[in-house]
């Protein structure tokens, strides 16, 4: 079953007086349960495409459909809600909040989804789910630690747990191993592969062919186009 | 929920928030202390003026006074809203003491001490006749002549900076001579030739301490009829300078004064054909505030200026908060992108920082109010300590007519100041918060990755 469909995506940025065209008509689709990788050189538009597919950004032209919903036509508030419930993001630099503990970081998307009143009734259930997730990521003993007290690999696993807490249909990973040594990076890849085996749809961006080879499908991006 | 939690965590984790809290606390402290003291001074000053005048006064600024006061007093006595009245005669003269070269220009006021005490605070300002004002003009010596009640600063040396007077147990045996130009109803001299000046001798029987500079410094109270003779208001028609009125308890001074004004206008109209009726046109019916406007006005202006100064202080606070928040949000740009990427709505992102501002405002206000109240509570003790150890007094009691620095804490004032402080913090944070909230998460995350 197709989960994501994007057609003729174009995106350009204004850099002073010049216009930098990043995407020049990209077509891409993703099937549920797939582990796909977008690969390309630096500046090829991989991250921009990932942001558009994850509803973090809007294309200048083109159509993005997620299970039949037109993301490119949604209001910002609808997009916020959509991202919260359907998409999990994993970033290269983890982007955990230093003021919160690992457990609180993981619970953040769930708290946003529930709202302040409903959260009180769902808190216990979600906390148990988060602890379970962190246990799967090997972070059971790190629940109350602050992100700056963890290693790079641990932080990235905490970030993956945060991305999964709302059981998103799509997990987007932007160079998740880019800031890690190869051993730790391999560990993260193993986690992602395991999640995919359990049915999680994953779209990952990388510039590393070695990593791309481990995915089910490779989408090569060059000069703003799928090649 | 998460917004509040994040606000609280940001507050604790950022050392710069201590600066913001300190700025707010300092502003609140200064405003609470100065406004409380200033409000106390103004309030005390107003109350003293109110007690000096009564609720309402029918007053002629002319030295010739106005006639037919007694008939109007009879009319007023029939009015249920009028509790008490006191007729007065006022004039200006030269005071000397027989056998000495001491002479000073003074104002005098002729009163019936009992009636005047029922309308004003006259009795309570006396030193020796607080409980029996009817004897206020009866000196313990020289009983063959009438007594007079002198303003405290006229008879006693100026108060020291400790605020204390060196008051004798009984009045000194002092005779004073008061000379005045008696005026006829037209404003000319009432008598001609050698008798042009009216002179009378009185014995110092008591002194009055109203706490008001002018009455304490240059007013002498005399028996009503003696003052009338001195001023020339005894003939050819009996005249008065003012009728002071106290209204029944719980009534509005403004509304009842308006009733008196209406009655007075009708009364003046009915006397139009009477001799000297033209003197009635100079008479005003005033509330005590209107009557003492020239004294109260400058103090209220001073209070207004202080409020404007504090408004500027508030603007400085807002600017400090604004700068602090710009710095904090600058540091927290990445977090904003993360929060938005996981679906936090734009208003909630703004609320995180507005919540932070509210916490800064609340904690700053609580600290400022607590220290302000503590300071006010001990302000007199601290001032006394400074005086005892260093001889330094902040408010020289010989200049300020106060016994103590007013330190009453007004809870409504505290509530308003705290509310304004929180509002100032929110105002200072609103622009950076909204700017942060509307930032594109993609831009923010891309920048933070560089």
The model carries a pTM of: 0.71
Residue A108 contacts B, CB cutoff 8 Å:
yes
- Rounded to the nearest angstrom, the minimum Cα separation between A123 and chain B is 11
Report the residue from A48, A99, A113 with minimal CB separation from B10: A99
Per CB distance under 8 Å, which residues of B are interface residues toward A? 1-2, 5-6, 9-10, 13, 334-335, 337-346, 348, 440-442, 445-446, 448-449
Q: Which domains does chain A have, with CATH numbers?
A: 2-226 (3.40.50.300)
- In sequence order, the 6+-apart residues with CB closer than 8 A to the CB of A185 are A177, A211
Block mean pLDDT (10 aa), chain B, length 450: 80 81 90 88 89 96 91 93 96 89 92 96 95 92 89 77 74 90 76 66 93 90 94 88 96 95 94 89 93 88 85 80 78 82 88 88 95 94 87 70 81 90 86 82 64
Average pLDDT over residues A201-207: 92
3-state SS string over chain B? Answer: CHHHHHHHHHHHHCCHHHHHHHHHHHHHHHHHHHHHHHHHHHHHHHHHHHHHHCCEEEECCCCCCEECHHHHHHHHHCCCCEEEEEEEEEEEEEEECCCCCCEEEEEEEEECHHHHHHHCCHHHHECCCCCCHHHCCCCCCCCCCCEEEEEHHHHCCCCCCCCCCCCCCCCCCCEEEEEECCECCCCCECCCHHHHCEEEEEEEEEEECCCCHHHHHHEEEEEHHHHHHHHCCCCCCCEECEEEEEECCCCCHHHHHHHHHHHHHHHHHHCCCCCCHHHHHHCEEEEHHHHCHHHHHHHHHHHHHHHHHHHHHHHHHHHHHHHHHHHHHHHCHHHHHHHHHCCCCHHHHHHHHHHHHHHHHHHHHHHHHHHHHHHHHCHHHHHHHHHHHHCCCCCCCCCCCCCCCCCCCCHHHHHHHHHHHHHHHHHHHHHHHHHHHCCCHHHHHHHHHC
Average pLDDT over residues A37-56: 90
* Domain range list for chain B: 2-47+296-449, 61-282
The whole-number pLDDT of residue B170 equals 86
The tens digit of pLDDT for each residue in A49-106 reads 999 999 989 899 999 999 989 998 898 889 999 999 999 999 888 889 988 999 999 9
Interface of A with B in 11-50 (CB under 8 A): 47-48
The whole-number pLDDT of residue B400 equals 63
The whole-number pLDDT of residue A154 equals 93
Q: Is the pLDDT of residue A34 over 80?
A: yes
The tens digit of pLDDT for each residue in A162-193 reads 999 999 999 999 988 888 888 888 888 898 89
The whole-number pLDDT of residue B448 equals 46
Contact A112 B446 (CB under 8 A): no
Residue A112 contacts B, CB cutoff 8 Å:
yes
- % residues pLDDT > 90 (chain A): 57
The whole-number pLDDT of residue B191 equals 65
- ipTM exceeding the 0.90 mark: no
Report the residue from B6, B13, B343 with minimal CB separation from A80: B343
Nearest Cα residue to B2 out of A129, A83, A120:
A120
The whole-number pLDDT of residue B158 equals 56
The whole-number pLDDT of residue B196 equals 57
- % residues pLDDT > 70 (chain A): 100
The whole-number pLDDT of residue B397 equals 65
The whole-number pLDDT of residue B181 equals 85
Q: In this structure, is the dihedral angle defined by the CA atoms of residues A109, A114, A117 and A118, taken in order, positive or negative?
A: negative
The whole-number pLDDT of residue B450 equals 40
The tens digit of pLDDT for each residue in B67-78 reads 999 999 999 999
Mean pLDDT of chain B: 87
């Amino acid at each position: 079953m197709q989960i994501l469909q994007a057609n003729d995506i174009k995106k350009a940025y204004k850099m002073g007086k010049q216009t930098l065209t990043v995407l020049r008509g990209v077509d891409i689709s993703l099937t549920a349960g797939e582990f796909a990788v977008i690969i390309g050189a630096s500046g090829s538009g991989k991250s921009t495409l990932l942001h558009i597919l994850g509803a973090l950004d809007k294309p200048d032209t083109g159509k993005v459909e997620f299970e039949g919903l037109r993301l490119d036509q949604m209001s910002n508030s609808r997009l916020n809600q959509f991202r919260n419930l359907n998409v999990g993001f994993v970033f290269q630099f983890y982007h955990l909040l230093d003021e919160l503990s690992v457990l609180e970081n993981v619970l953040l998307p769930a708290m946003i989804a529930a709202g302040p009143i409903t959260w009180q009734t769902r808190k216990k259930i979600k906390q148990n789910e988060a602890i379970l997730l962190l246990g799967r990521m090997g972070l059971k003993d790190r629940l109350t630690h602050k992100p700056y007290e963890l290693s790079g690999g641990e932080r990235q696993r905490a970030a993956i747990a945060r991305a999964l807490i709302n059981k998103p249909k799509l997990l987007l990973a932007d160079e998740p191993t880019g800031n890690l040594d190869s051993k730790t990076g391999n560990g993260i890849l193993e986690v992602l592969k395991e999640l995919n085996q359990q049915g999680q749809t994953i779209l990952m961006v990388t510039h590393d062919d070695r990593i791309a080879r481990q995915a089910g499908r490779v989408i090569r991006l060059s000069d703003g186009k799928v090649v | 929920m998460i917004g509040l939690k994040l606000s609280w965590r940001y507050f604790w984790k950022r050392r710069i928030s201590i600066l913001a809290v300190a700025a707010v606390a300092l502003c609140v402290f200064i405003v609470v202390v100065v406004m409380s003291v200033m409000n106390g001074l103004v309030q005390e000053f107003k109350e003293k003026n109110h007690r000096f005048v009564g609720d309402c006064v029918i007053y002629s600024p002319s030295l010739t006074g106005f006639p037919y006061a007694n008939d109007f007093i009879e009319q007023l006595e029939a009015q249920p809203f009028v509790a008490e009245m006191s007729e007065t005669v006022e004039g200006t003269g030269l005071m000397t003491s027989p056998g000495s070269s001491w002479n000073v220009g003074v104002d005098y006021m002729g009163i019936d001490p009992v009636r005047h005490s029922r309308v004003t605070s006259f009795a309570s300002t006396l030193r020796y006749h607080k409980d029996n004002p009817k004897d206020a003009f009866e000196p313990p010596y020289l009983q063959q002549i009438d007594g007079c009640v002198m303003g405290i600063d006229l008879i006693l040396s100026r108060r020291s900076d400790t605020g204390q007077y060196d008051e004798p147990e009984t009045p000194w045996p002092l005779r004073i001579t008061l000379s005045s130009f008696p005026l006829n109803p037209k404003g000319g001299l009432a008598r001609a030739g050698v008798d042009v000046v009216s002179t009378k001798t009185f014995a110092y029987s008591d002194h009055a301490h109203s706490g008001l500079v002018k009455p304490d410094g240059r007013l002498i109270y005399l028996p009503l009829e003696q003052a009338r003779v001195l001023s020339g208001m005894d003939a050819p028609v009996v005249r008065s300078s003012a009728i002071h009125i106290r209204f029944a308890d719980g009534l509005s001074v403004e509304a009842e004064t308006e009733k008196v004004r209406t009655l007075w206008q009708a009364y003046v109209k009915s006397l139009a054909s009477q001799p000297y009726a033209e003197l009635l046109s100079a008479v005003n019916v005033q509330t005590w505030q209107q009557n003492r406007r020239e004294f109260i006005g400058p103090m209220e202006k001073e209070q207004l200026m202080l409020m404007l100064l504090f408004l500027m202080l508030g603007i400085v606070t807002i600017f400090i908060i604004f700068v602090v928040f710009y710095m904090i949000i600058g540091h927290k740009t990445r977090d904003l992108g993360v929060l938005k990427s996981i679906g936090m709505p734009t208003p909630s992102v703004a609320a995180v920082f507005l919540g932070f501002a509210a916490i800064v405002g609340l904690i700053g206000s609580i600290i400022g109010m607590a220290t302000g109240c503590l300071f006010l509570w001990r302000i007199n003790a601290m001032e006394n300590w400074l005086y005892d150890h260093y001889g330094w007094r902040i408010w020289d009691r010989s200049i300020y007519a106060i016994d103590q620095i007013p330190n009453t804490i007004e809870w409504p004032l505290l509530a308003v100041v705290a509310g304004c402080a929180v509002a100032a913090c929110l105002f200072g944070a609103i622009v950076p918060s909204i700017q942060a909230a509307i930032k594109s998460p993609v831009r923010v995350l891309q920048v933070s990755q560089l």
